[in-house]
Structure 1
Amino acid sequence: MLFGIYPGSAVGDDSGGLAGGPPDDPARIDHALDLLQGRPGRPFLVRAYLAFDDTTRLGPGAAHPTATPGDAARHAVRGRRLDLVAQYHSASGDVDGYCTFVRELVDQYGSVTETLQITEEPDVTTLPTLDGYYPGVQDAIVRGVAAAKQRARELGHTHLRVGFNTTPLFGPAASFATDLADRGGTTFTAELDYIGLDFFPDVFRPIAAAELDRAVIGLLGHHRDTVLAPAGLGHLPLHITEHGWPTGPDRPPHRQAEVVETIVEALAAHAHRLNLAGYTHFALRDADTSRPGLFHRFGLTTDDYTPKPAFHTYRNLVTRHSRDTAAHSTAQSAPAPA
């Protein structure tokens, strides 16, 4: 599988705000990324977010800095590439402007980007930090995918893969992908390179430890068979675009490591059958380790970049299951953090 991580610390919470804390340290981010990647040149994604809204400046000379982490392109070195999330936050429903924004992102970041995600959790309609809150989001996906692919072809960025993501979909919400495919037609579905899924098992609803791996594989089977296949998207690779498990009161660090290992091992074991191509962890660093809430402690490290046990666990999983492992079976793992 292709692995990656969101190396920022800002986290959207369940009230529509952002959980924050000490500023990110780019040098420490680079050091942690080097350790997780394990070997220079090993494919590894750096997830970064930026958003279009009604104040976004477009046109010649416009630059679009990543919101979190800042200056994300600096981390796309030594074989790492960006997993860039182009969020749609237009209160006026300016889909034309969003498509221009997407084309400009391909201009600015296309050479260092592996995956370009069009919108973020567009099925979630209740939180202003997520894209389903804004009018025209389905049109933004359909037209944004087309704009990104067209501009990538014009620039010769044949490596750039374009997709969209959702959260797990059940009941009436399971029709989201079908509705989207109906809106965009076969032209839209043919342009898609992957589908993303953000999921956080045993975070917001408890799952018994003994049932966690089966619950995860059951969920992914449901998503492919019940959500994607009826939409004509069942053939596309599935990327886990966000997954994490926060520490805190009654959530010990050793359990975080166990959850990460259980889930990634389950994904790796079923990757071929479920066409799972990627896993991106959320997140590298706590937003604020001094705060007890869920959203402040998603990191594999504390807010001063001290590794938790799960950091070492994830590093070992990357070495064990990266898509280049077979070709580099003699590669040495990275040294342990000081």
Structure 2
Amino acid sequence: MKRTPSHSFTFGIYPGGMSGTDKGLTTGPADSAQAIENALRILQGDVPSFLVRAYIPYKSGRAAVHPTPVQPSQYAKENRLLDLVLCFQSDEEDMSTWKAFIRDTIRKYGARLAKLQVTEEANANLPSLDGFYKHSRKALVEGIVAAKEEIQTLGLQTIVGFNATPDFNPEKKFWLEIASLATPAFYDALDYVGLDFFPDVFRPIAGEDLEGPITGLIAMFRADIGQAGIRSTIPLHITENGWPTHHDRTEQRQAAQLEKIIRIVHRHRETFHITHYELFALRDADSNVQDLFYQFGILRDDYSPKLAFEMYRKIVAELTIA
């Protein structure tokens, strides 16, 4: 599916430290708003646009929830806007309160909102992710329609979509369920599909050749999207990608692997119609914990830089196309 060259490629980052694990959420030092702002300013440099990714969990009955990072709107500037993820973490089957939550959120953030992602990894059955909840696929489909209606009512330019992880199950149950729930209004409302993937992290890649495994995985994901009845021309966003340090995973290796992955994604952006890349994450959850989930940052938990921080600054400046 060869396409005409893209006019822009947008980068971004999740600027918090907290992350989900296979058992729950990480713990660690609190975020520093000033340190985050300083780091974002450096990473963006002079590029015309840069995204700040944040997460807001929805709980049953619209219980009080707190975004991560806290008060994400403080990081939205003229040329730096939000990619806001609304996580569905509820056992509710009636979607009316969920959809009201979506509309309220859109009104709250308004023009600071470049992207709205409805649900977080609704195909991943882990306690910290939306696929753990029975009705998350219904929340995804109905939530996207509700979000687009509110965006159009307010006259905003916000794009709306959802994301998923790679699906290695040949039955493709998630994608077929989306197809069964989808309506014409859903397909009309959908602006992008996001891919969260972590090559050479949870499934190590033998050898130094990452290009074949990465392009093969993206091609598989493109085919999976089609299983849901989603058009082949829908833009693909890399919504989460990272490579953590660890006692046997050096900072030098982190910088090298991330640069390889980003360049592969960018090199094949026209083939797969990839328009966005967002790094996970700005800083470690806790640099003293020798666990993969705690050290995804390109900064340590005290905001001192790893080698990958300067690498990402340079690659954003080089590969963003005005």
| TM-score bin, normalised by smaller chain | over 0.9
Q: Aligned residue for 2:42?
A: 35
Instruction: Give every structure 1 segment of 4 or more consecutive aligned residues whose post-TM-superposition deviation is greater than 4 Å.
Output: none
The 5 Å alignment of 1:198-237 reads: 198-224=196-222, 226-233=223-230, 234-237=232-235
2:137 aligned residue: 138
Report if aligned partners of 1:240, 1:278 keep a CA contact under 8 Å in 2: yes
The answer to whether 1:20 aligns with 2:27 is yes
The structure-2 alpha-carbon separation of the partners of 1:3 and 1:173, relative to structure 1 and needing over 3 Å to count, comes to: farther
Work out whether 1:248 is the aligned partner of 2:250. no
Segments of 5+ residues of structure 1 without an aligned counterpart are: 58-63, 325-338
- Stretch of structure 1 that moved more, 283-292 or 185-194: 185-194
Q: Do the aligned residues in 2 keep the contact of 1:181 with 1:189 (CA within 8 Å)?
A: no
Amino acid at match of 1:120: E
**Cα distance in 1 for residues equivalent to 2:33 and 2:274:** 30
> Displacement, 1:172?
3.6
Q: In structure 1, what is the Cα distance between the partners aligned to 2:315 and 2:65?
A: 31
Could you tell me which residue of structure 1 aligns to residue 87 of structure 2? 87
- Are 1:191 and 2:189 matched, yes or no? yes
Displacement of 1:6 in angstroms is 0.2
Preserved CA contact (<8 Å) 1:83 1:114:
yes
Equivalent residues of 2:57, 2:65 under 8 A apart: no
Q: What's the counterpart of residue 148 of structure 1? A: 147
User: How far did 1:26 drift?
Assistant: 0.3
Answer whether contact 1:200 1:243 (CA < 8 A) is retained.
yes
What is the identity percentage for the equivalent residue pairs of Structure 1 and Structure 2? Answer: 42
State which drifts further: 163-172 or 145-154: 163-172
Root mean square deviation of aligned Cα: 1.4
Matched with 1:305 is 303
- The 3-state SS of whatever aligns with 1:210 is coil
Secondary structure of the 2:172 match is helix
Q: What is the aligned residue count? A: 313
Q: Contact 2:16–2:283 at 8 Å: present in 1 too?
A: yes
Contact 2:26/2:285 (8 A) holds in 1: yes
Which residue of structure 1 aligns with residue 51 of structure 2? Answer: 45
Structure 2 gap ranges (5+): 1-8
Aligned to 1:322: 320
Please point out which of 163, 166, 179 is paired with 2:164. Answer: 166
Q: Deviations over 1:239-295 (max 9, x none)?
A: 010000100111000000011110110011110111001110000000110111111
Partner of 1:258: 256
TM-score between the two structures when normalised by the length of structure 1: 0.89
Question: Distance in 1 between the 2:70 and 2:28 partners?
Answer: 15
Q: Cα distance, 1:133 vs. partner?
A: 1.2
C-alpha separation in 2, matches of 1:115 and 1:209: 36
- Secondary structure of the corresponding residue to residue 321 of structure 2: coil
Q: Deviations over 1:202-246 (max 9, x none)?
A: 11111134221221111101111x201233322110001000010
1:9 aligned to 17, 25, 36, which one? 17
CA distance in 2, matches of 1:268, 1:128: 32
Deviates more, 1:282-291 or 1:129-138: 129-138
- Shift of residue 177 of structure 1? 2.4
- 1:208 alignment partner AA: A
Q: State the shift of 1:55 in Å.
A: 4.2
Distance in structure 2 (CA, Å) of the matches to 1:75 and 1:119: 22
Q: Secondary structure at the match of 1:12?
A: coil
Q: TM-score, normalised by structure 2?
A: 0.94
Q: 1:146-171 CA deviation, whole Å, 9 max, x = no partner?
A: 110001111110x1000011000123
